[in-house]
Chains A and B, each alone.
Chain A
Amino acid sequence: MGRFVARRLLLTIPVLIGATFLIFAMVYALPGDPIRALAGDRPLAPAVQAQLADEFNLNDPLWLQYVKYVGDLVQGDFGTDFSGRPVSDTIEQRLPVTAKLALAAVIFEAVIGLIAGILAGIRRGSWFDNLVLVSTTLIVSVPVFVLGFIAQYVLGLKFGWFPTSGIGDGWYSYVLPGLVLASLSLAYVARLTRTSLAENLRQDYVRTARAKGLKPSVVIGKHTLRNSLIPVVTFIGADIGALMGGAIVTESIFNIPGLGRAVYDAVLRQEGAVVVGIVTLFVFFYIFFNLVVDVLYALLDPRIRYD
């Protein structure tokens, strides 16, 4: 088990380096002049330009800029934005907001998705199964930002049940955005659970369990569910990382001051250091949760553990 984790950890290093370099290259190497963008319409004195370029290592070749950046990064230095504020301060302030949002989303995704999927999978062809099929198809078809508007309009404005903007109401303000952020994954979890359960119900070992004279509740609850949930649990785990990165749309619609919103603002202002810093963090979380999931997978499935 220890060796398995170690090998997986080693494999993530090139991925982490590659992904951060990809972001770095996109932000700094492609056309677009960050210094001119910072200055806006004001003309800049060449000396100031040169000084700024030097400060942000803009005259170095790209790979050297990257190496310097990573060197700072491993010491916890994410650089500063154009106003001189450390990017790490922004992260520190906004990470808890995005984390709460992602947590709310994962809870919705797991609870609603699993229950709907299990009930539909056990009673295939029932009205509930059809309801799950139709509603998940609809949810998947409506883009998240449209769903956000619908939720805002119906649940927020028409009924006034939920706040529609900001995080002024504590945990309660995360309910609606969390639900919207979770919607796509929720539908996917429900469908995955349903198919996985239905597939497992056809397995030979389920027939064996019945031939052993086990109670139907044991046949389904123990011999079928345990195996069926392996892919679902791993999907949900990996999704935590993806949800954080996907928060950009939800946070924009619901005006939530999280990391997604920060990236959105920084991209529009062409603040390279902020964009690279936060997106690197997203990638890190994504990779981290995937690693957790791989270990989880091995714990749940002995066939992998003893490979």
Chain B
Amino acid sequence: MTEPQTERVTSTLEAEVAGSAPIAEASLWSDAWKSLRKNPFFIVGSVLLLVFLVMALFPQLFTNADPRACDLSRSADGPSGSAWFGYDVQGCDYYANVVYGAKVSVTIGFLSMLGTLVIGVVVGAIAGYYGGWLDSVLARITDIFYGLPLILGAFILLSVLPDRGVPEVSLALIVFGWMTAMRLVRSTVVSVKDADYVQAARALGASTPRILIRHILPNAIAPVLVYSTIYIGTLIAAEATLTFLGIGLQLPEISWGLQINSAQNRLRDASHLILFPSAFLSLTVLSFILIGDALRDALDPKLR
């Protein structure tokens, strides 16, 4: 008499539990969105980011001047009504140059982030899911790359590459920067791979890639999203640093790092040459960090 009763209770319980997962998931994102909309840091960050994205895609919307139309007679002239940011050493309109500089920064930021994610997710998922000796070996390899700081490693790698354009700089940043994404994905995979619903999927005969993609990796979306947003800022700063050191992008590329580099000895007499690209660079990085911080606060209910 009691047995079928208990069974029915259990099965309804199961239905409830099964049904609650997507609901919890959906409410995580909708709750996050609700709190984001009210977060002033997120709004400021998004507006800034939007401005710089548009600037990177359509610089013509911001300036009519040709960044490469130069006149040495006005070399390093300061800001004025006709040229808001003044002129650079070559006598080119500095505002146009700074606006056109957004393109490579944003491109390298996204490109190297994409590469970092691909390596991070693949290696992290393999290490976390299979564990054992494979995990140990991959962990040691990660340690090896951690031994070289991002800037130093990329600096050396770029110095031996024959060309230093956007792809090469991105590559260098990927090679020495994928490790944290890998550890992030790995720890998520480890923490959920033995969860009951994953066991259930396995028992139902789902293939390994399917289990990973459908059941395990979605758990990593929130942390990876937060990390990547902030990390794009880091990557953009790193590109500018490498270029500033003279080992990143090369002329005639238009980039903030190059602009700061060529102006570095003019700090005393033409500080505007350093100020404007530095400000644009910092604001771009800031926009990603503001959004990333806001995302973390919104997606991590523990911190609320």
Please tell me whether chains A and B touch each other in their complex, using a CB distance cut-off of 8 A. yes
Residues of A within 8 A of B (CB): 11, 14-16, 18-19, 22-23, 26-27, 30-32, 137-138, 140-146, 149-150, 152-153, 157, 195, 198-199, 242, 245-246, 248-249, 252, 263-264, 267-268, 270, 275, 279, 282-283, 286-287
Q: For B140, list chain A residues within 8 Å (CB).
A: 11, 14-15, 18
Q: Does B209 contact A (CB under 8 A)?
A: no
Taking a contact as CB atoms under 8 Å apart, the answer to whether B244 and A268 are in contact is no
Interface residues on B, range: 35 or more
Taking a contact as CB atoms under 8 Å apart, the answer to whether B147 and A268 are in contact is no
**Interface on chain A toward B: helix, strand, loop, or mixed SS?**
helix
Chain B residue at smallest Cβ distance from A15? B143
Partner of A137, one of B145, B260, B286: B286
Taking a contact as CB atoms under 8 Å apart, the answer to whether B152 and A246 are in contact is yes
Top-5 shortest CB links A-B: A141-B286, A18-B144, A19-B147, A143-B237, A30-B160
Inter-chain CA distance A33–B49, complex, in Å, is 43
Inter-chain CA distance A249–B162, complex, in Å, is 23
In the complex, which of the residues A145, A153, A268 has the most CB atoms of chain B within 10 Å of its own CB atom? A145
Inter-chain CA distance A225–B219, complex, in Å, is 32
Q: Does B120 contact A (CB under 8 A)?
A: no
A15-B140, A149-B267, A149-B274 known; A26-B147 Cβ under 8 A = no
Taking a contact as CB atoms under 8 Å apart, the answer to whether A144 and B152 are in contact is no
Taking a contact as CB atoms under 8 Å apart, the answer to whether B148 and A245 are in contact is yes
Taking a contact as CB atoms under 8 Å apart, the answer to whether B148 and A283 are in contact is yes
B283 CB to nearest A CB, Å: 8
B106 CB to nearest A CB, Å: 15
Q: For A150, list chain B residues within 8 Å (CB).
A: 278
Taking a contact as CB atoms under 8 Å apart, the answer to whether A153 and B149 are in contact is no
Q: For A282, list chain B residues within 8 Å (CB).
A: 148-149, 152
A253 CB to nearest B CB, Å: 8
CB pairs A–B below 8 angstroms (27 shown)? A11-B140, A18-B144, A19-B144, A22-B145, A32-B159, A140-B285, A141-B283, A141-B286, A141-B289, A142-B278, A142-B285, A143-B240, A144-B241, A145-B240, A145-B241, A145-B244, A146-B260, A146-B278, A149-B264, A149-B267, A153-B271, A199-B303, A246-B152, A270-B160, A275-B156, A279-B148, A282-B149
Q: Does B246 contact A (CB under 8 A)?
A: yes
Inter-chain CA distance A52–B184, complex, in Å, is 47
Q: Does B50 contact A (CB under 8 A)?
A: no
Q: Does B233 contact A (CB under 8 A)?
A: yes
Q: Does B43 contact A (CB under 8 A)?
A: no
Chain B residue at smallest Cβ distance from A269? B159
Inter-chain CA distance A275–B247, complex, in Å, is 15
Inter-chain CA distance A22–B143, complex, in Å, is 12
Inter-chain CA distance A14–B145, complex, in Å, is 12
Q: For B162, list chain A residues within 8 Å (CB).
A: 31-32
Taking a contact as CB atoms under 8 Å apart, the answer to whether B144 and A143 are in contact is no
Inter-chain CA distance A150–B271, complex, in Å, is 10
